[in-house]
Homo-oligomer: A and B are copies of this chain.
């Protein structure tokens, strides 16, 4: 649904969503999921309500498409970033953190929808959680590798990984493009903070 990940995983082009999903994302963000009706979205995009149902089945179908599309794209990007790194845990870890942070900045409109997952049916929530877990599991395996090689000192890798991903996800809620730090600088800071959190001092503090 989202664009394919570019060769350069650090590059973010403008999002190309279908008009329906773009309208739904906008409406969910402005009014919240519950307060948005399918009619609101139809009005925004100049289509009829039946046309929206035809494409996505229901309002929940649109949220599912946005959430699953967003997190699948995130995973593909993180996967590419990790594969692109030198084979050391430190390099792979740094690229993972950088890719997730860049996503939270450049794709805030998807990241903030995460707070709406409680609106999903149990089955849809499980599917989404499974997709998101890929991102977590990849980071976890890198942290465990780093503990094994002695590069990292982490007493409870699962807790640390969840904590770090929560920390980065929060960026989407407060990041201000007009603020002091650009996306690349911010991502670099988060790599430094995360490296310290796994017991490794940053190279250039």
Contacts and interface: CB of A to CB of B under 8 A. Distances in A.
Contacts of A112: 115
Of A116, A164, A170, A192, chain B has the most CB atoms within 10 Å of the CB of A170
Interface stretch (A4-12, A50-58, A88-96, A196-204): A196-204
Main secondary structure on A side of the interface with B = helix
Q: How many copies of this chain? A: 2
Interface in A157-194: 159-160, 162-164, 166-167, 169-171, 173-174, 181, 186, 189-190, 192-194
A193 B35 contact: no
Nearest to A159: B189
Interface of A: 31-35, 112, 114-116, 153-156, 159-160, 162-164, 166-167, 169-171, 173-174, 181, 186, 189-190, 192-194, 196-199, 201-202, 205
